[in-house]
């Protein structure tokens, strides 16, 4: 005979099993591969005397850098190994030869102990010279023994003071080694000479330059670059767009780089089979001083010149990169022999050069093309990232329904038993 205690225990066990099945994934099998080598990031911070200047949100540049570093350390993904190198942090004297050797590894590149790294950052005080070139040379050696992606994030408020060692030449030398090291640069104050130098360093290794004037901008940008280190590394393919669609290069799915002059149009071609969809995005980087109020336009056009779809974005002079994208699904055909459609991609920019700025070579352009099978109506939700959320909600609703039915049946049974007694 089923007792009330046994029935209640059975209901609880069922609910526990349902809940456990939803909340906890199956454990990984023994011996399962651990994945790719850990991505590594080396944050290189300028701690020269000029970092005492109080022109960032009412505080010093050093204070802004420390606050940004603390927030970045808190947000660093677990899979990223991170280190910190300083330049100009230790030698306060006037001897240039000694000052240009002033670079040190504050925290070694490796698994991150957030408390230890924050404690090390807290000890920094603006001190000496700005040996960017020597610091980059040393930072490139901080990654020895790593097979994962490697990225240096250089943060400075001025140009190198250790000529004739040109940091741009140092970056080119690092790139020539073929070790897959990317250098991203951030300038803390608007400065034409610094911008030119930091842009050159970044461009030499396929990195980016960003000018920041506020603490939150610095935090957000460094976080983006650290997160990017964990992304799969894709080597862009150099291409050269044409002045019209007829002569444009035919592109497959992939990442491409090109250069586009001020106000220029660049054309590319993509073949799309029936039932496929082309997704394209483009970014144009202002790697030199430009006038405010500019934009980028990406159009998908037929070979006859009819516009299919467009994507556009505008900037106001405070953004170094302007990006936009589009997607075009080619309808399925009942005819299995239906030919592919050639889609012409046109990239246009409305950047204009500031006075005295060279217009050649063109600005860096990055184009991503992805040709995929068009998602069916049934899978549209999942394709936009909602699938996992909906099945979890459905499972919770089903669990609640079953629990309600069982609890109601149990309550009625208890009342019936009570009446018979």
Residue 9 is assigned to a structural domain of this protein: no
Same domain, 218 and 242: no
Q: Residue 142: its pLDDT value, please? A: 93
Please indicate, yes or no, if residue 214 is contained in any of the structural domains. yes
Q: Which of 204, 229, 254 is the last residue of a domain?
A: 229
Q: What is the CATH number of the domain that holds 97?
A: 3.40.50.410
- Answer whether 346's CB lies under 8 Å from 266's CB: yes
What is the per-residue pLDDT for 362? 86
CB 130 within 8 A of CB 87: yes
Give the pLDDT score at 24: 40
Domain that holds residue 62: 40-229
**Alpha carbons 203 and 35: distance in angstroms, whole number:** 30
160 and 248 in a common domain? no
Starting at the earlier edge strand, list the strands of the sheet with 265-272. 265-272, 341-349, 294-301, 307-315
Q: Where are the alpha helices (DSSP H) in 45-182?
A: 61-75, 96-99, 114-122, 132-141, 167-176
Q: Give, for 245, the enclosing helix (H) or strand (E).
A: none
> 59: which DSSP letter?
B
In a domain, 57, yes or no: yes
pLDDT of residue 30: 37
C-alpha torsion sign, points 74, 77, 79, 82:
negative
Query: Same domain for 78 and 161?
Result: yes
Count of Cβ atoms closer than 10 Å to residue 37 Cβ: 12
> Considering the domain boundaries, does residue 394 fall inside one?
no
In a domain, 384, yes or no: no
Could you give the number of structural domains in the chain?
2
For residues 250 and 339, membership in a common domain is answered with yes
Global pTM reads 0.54
Q: Which of 229, 254, 286 is the last residue of a domain?
A: 229
- Pair 180, 255 in one domain: no
Residues 206 and 316 in one domain: no
CATH number at 278 reads: 2.60.120.380
| Residue 5 located in a structural domain | no
Last residue of a domain, one of 198, 229, 260: 229
Residues 62 and 208 in one domain: yes
In a domain, residue 418? The reply is no
The answer to whether residues 144 and 179 touch, using CB atoms and an 8 Å cutoff, is: no
State whether 211 and 244 are in the same domain. no
Per-residue pLDDT of the chain (421 residues; tens, 9 = 90+): 444 444 444 444 444 444 444 344 444 433 334 567 889 999 999 999 999 999 999 999 999 999 999 999 999 999 999 999 999 999 999 999 999 999 999 999 999 999 999 999 999 999 999 999 999 999 999 997 777 889 999 999 988 988 888 999 999 898 888 777 899 999 998 788 888 899 889 988 888 888 888 999 899 989 888 888 877 656 678 899 999 999 999 999 998 989 999 989 999 999 999 888 999 999 888 777 788 888 899 999 999 999 999 999 887 755 567 889 998 988 777 676 778 899 999 999 998 887 888 888 888 899 999 988 876 433 443 333 444 445 555 666 777 667 776 767 766 666 566 666 5
Same domain flag for 73 and 187:
yes
């Amino acid at each position: 005979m089923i007792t009330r205690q046994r029935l209640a225990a059975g209901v609880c066990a069922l609910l526990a099993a349902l809940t456990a099945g939803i909340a906890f994934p199956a454990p990984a099998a023994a011996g399962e591969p651990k994945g790719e080598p850990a991505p590594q990031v080396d944050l290189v911070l300028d701690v020269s005397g000029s970092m005492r200047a109080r022109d960032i949100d009412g505080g010093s540049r050093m204070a802004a850098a420390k606050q940004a570093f603390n927030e970045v350390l808190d947000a660093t993904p677990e899979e990223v190994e991170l280190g910190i190198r300083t330049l100009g942090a230790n030698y306060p004297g006037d001897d240039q030869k000694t000052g240009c050797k002033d670079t040190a590894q504050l925290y070694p590149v490796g698994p991150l102990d957030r408390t230890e790294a924050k404690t090390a950052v807290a000890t920094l005080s603006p001190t000496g010279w700005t040996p960017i070139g020597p610091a980059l040379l040393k930072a490139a050696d901080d990654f020895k023994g790593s097979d994962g992606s490697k990225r240096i994030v250089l943060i400075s408020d001025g140009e190198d003071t250790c000529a004739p060692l040109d940091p741009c030449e140092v970056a080119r030398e690092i790139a020539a080694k073929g070790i897959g090291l990317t250098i991203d640069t951030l300038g803390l104050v608007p400065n034409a000479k610094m911008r030119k130098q930091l842009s050159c360093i970044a461009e030499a290794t396929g990195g980016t330059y960003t000018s920041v004037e506020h603490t939150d901008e610095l935090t957000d940008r460094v976080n983006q670059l650290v997160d990017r280190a964990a992304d799969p590394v894709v080597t862009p393919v150099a291409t050269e767009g044409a002045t019209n669609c007829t002569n444009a290069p035919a592109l497959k799915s992939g990442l491409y780089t090109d250069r586009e002059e001020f106000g220029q149009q660049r054309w590319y071609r993509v073949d799309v089979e029936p039932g496929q969809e082309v997704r394209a995005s483009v970014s144009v980087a202002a790697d030199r001083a430009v006038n405010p109020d500019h934009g980028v336009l990406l159009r998908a056009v037929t070979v006859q010149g009819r516009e299919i779809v467009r994507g556009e974005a505008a900037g106001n002079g405070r953004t170094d990169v302007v990006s936009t994208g589009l997607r075009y699904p080619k309808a399925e055909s009942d005819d299995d022999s239906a030919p592919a459609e050639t889609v012409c991609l046109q990239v246009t920019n409305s950047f204009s050069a500031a006075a005295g700025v060279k217009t050649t070579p063109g600005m860096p352009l990055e184009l991503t093309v992805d040709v995929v099978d068009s998602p069916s109506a049934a899978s549209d939700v999942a394709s936009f990232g909602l699938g996992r959320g909906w099945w979890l909600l459905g499972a919770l609703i089903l669990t609640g329904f079953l629990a309600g039915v069982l609890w109601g049946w149990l309550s009625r049974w208890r009342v019936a038993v009570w009446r018979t007694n």
